[in-house]
Chain A
Amino acid sequence: MTEAESVTNQGVTGKPSGGLDVARIREDFPILARDVYGKPLVYLDNAATSQKPRQVIEALVRYYESYNANIHRAVHCLGEEATAAYEEARAKVARFINAPSPECIVFTRNTTEAINLVAYTWGRANVGPDSGVLLTLLEHHSNIIPWQRVTAEKGASLRYIGITEQQTLDLDGLEKLMDSRTRLLAVTQVSNALGTINPVQKLTAEAHRNGTMVLVDGAQSVPHMPVDVQAMDCDFFAFSSHKMLGPTGVGVLYARPELLEEMEPFLGGGEMIKRVTQEDAIWNDVPWKFEAGTPNIADAIGLGVAIDYLSDLGMENVRAHEMEISEYALRRLRQMEEVMIYGPPDPADRGGVISFNYPDLHPHDIGTVLDRHGVAVRAGHHCAQPLMHHLDVSGTVRASFYVYNTLGEVDVLVDALGQAHAFFSNDTK
């Protein structure tokens, strides 16, 4: 066993962290037992997608083995069971983010589709040549491209809130950027590229004083911290199941009920209608008006089980655990002389995401070396090219943590980084 491996094991079997019993949690994730190139897997790419606990995987199997049926229109037993489970998942989602009712929860494919739904329905009806949309430099492409398309189509303006040297949103000139014509502020709660946590509650209050609606991208917040959409007071909120222990293929759009009522449907077809004649149709009630066609029944049910799993852990504990790991990782990385770390310095101001670079090493080279040590990180632009351009880098290396990560795994990362750096800078080898 190498030194690094023994450290991992200490970390794995070590004391519970931030109120989480990490050793027990790890047993729920079959994938964590596998090797990568003969090394234990150290999975630090959780901001891209999380691993899935056995409970979620088993729920999918149970659905297909025992009550697979189409929902809402079957008169038989299986159909009733499937419908009940699907709608129960919706209710769990609503409770998890403290939405006022399950009817404000629309199931989509992912965050991206949820944002597109808003852009193409509400956005097209509400922005025009004398209005605009305000984004931030910290957005993921999925919260940029839909707004570029809609504002271009409608001749509306598109502006960005910039960032400070500490890589937090620069809110000094906000009054100038957000004026009476700004219809929507679309902002991420946590930056997937830098980890920055944005003050969304404060932003929402300011936007509403200005008569501006707010869409919050919760893809990186809902999996990692307690979220309350009513306290936040946002108008739209989007996130993805696959980043929060749930299956791929399901996303969530929350919207204030009156907004969903007035919005036109996104896609047309089955499920989203009440009555259809040769000429026209009457839309179904919300939220089904926005769920055309057979939805992703199994994976929505799986998301419900992931939510149960996270609720059992307690989102306060999840957040505390990630802060502890981030704090340790920041401390270790800061000890490495040449490493440049991005994002706010205080772990309290950031999610469990750490982006960094070596000045003269390309992120992909680092990522490839780390991979050979069993360490999975992200290397590249993290779907945030405008931000990378602003930082004047082609990309960064990003380590992102979750409930099953340990301090020992941070040691493996740091150790492997040291070796990567030595490998590329050793002129005499």
Chain B
Amino acid sequence: MELHPVQSTGPQETFVLNLGPQHPATHGVLRVKLTMDGEFINDAVIVAGYVHREHEKMGENRPWDQFLPNTGRIDYLSAMMYTHAYVGAIERACGIEVPPRAEYVRVITSELNRIASHLVWWGAYLLDLGGMTPLLYAFDDREKILDLLEALTGARLTYCYYRVGGLAEDLDDGFVEGTREFVKEFRPRLKMFRRLVSENIIFRKRVEGIGIIDAEMCRKYGATGPMIRGAGIPNDVRRAEPYSVYPELDFEIPVDPAADSMARYKVRMEEMEQSLRIIEQCLDRLPEGPVMAKVPRVLKPPEGDYCYATEAARGRFEVRIVSTGKPVAHRVRLRTPCFGNLSLFEEAARGMMLADGIAMMGSLDLVIPDIDR
């Protein structure tokens, strides 16, 4: 059969457009090389690595507990969950039993952290789409969470609050009341957010049916968290591989089968609601007692290979440690959610309009240091 070249109907010209490394929509130093055909994305190549800091290597050249400050700096927006995975891995290796009070406090602070993280995403996403106001409202509420956590841990982002075997310090006086008050105040605010944004016609036109990322693609690239739940699969580490006290708590895993940007948006909004429920239950059940287990001064996990996964705000975060019985790790592997979530951008963005591509990228909720780590 003879092949005929496709008749071109106009000048076929593509050009390369750099999105980043300094671009407000990438929320950090990420570069995406776009091959554009007019307004349409022909091809996208991700160039990551601008903020690579060798966290894994750092974990392998210092005593186990000295890696703790690093864990808060991988994904600075959900520092609590990241530290939880790392201390959890060591506790599993050493067979340390964490006191129940410490576990409950860990869950409360993690969920507060999740809400704070989703609020940043919510504000920044709408900023990407051109709405300035929601960001300010979101930061108003986030500020309250950060104040609570600051009074508790002494820091606003890089908490470094968990220790192997428990917590650095017990709760401070105002924390329980402060958190209860926050939960009470935040529910109507969430409702207000919904009326302000989720039903807004301009917003809906920009996200509904746009940026379809189906379950198949999520599986292919290892996308987790709200990405895969927004594709209709109820995959959540808190339920799939329960850790800490999550099995005792009553909460739902929000899913949305629509698989578009709106689905991911809705899942995250619903997750905040569920986090509030978890916090309330934990506050009601908070047991008395110590917050720190007996832990040897120098940690030497027995020889072996251990994993611990947590559900961070952006998806599954997993720490794998390989110990040779020495006070220093042989291998620390960090499986971060954003890397998988970003990888599918190349495939998903093909054929999209540039503005829609940005709207889709925002719905991935990227934190760049988490990709490069």
Instruction: Decide if A and B are genuine partners.
Output: no
Residues on B close to A: CB < 8 A?
A: none
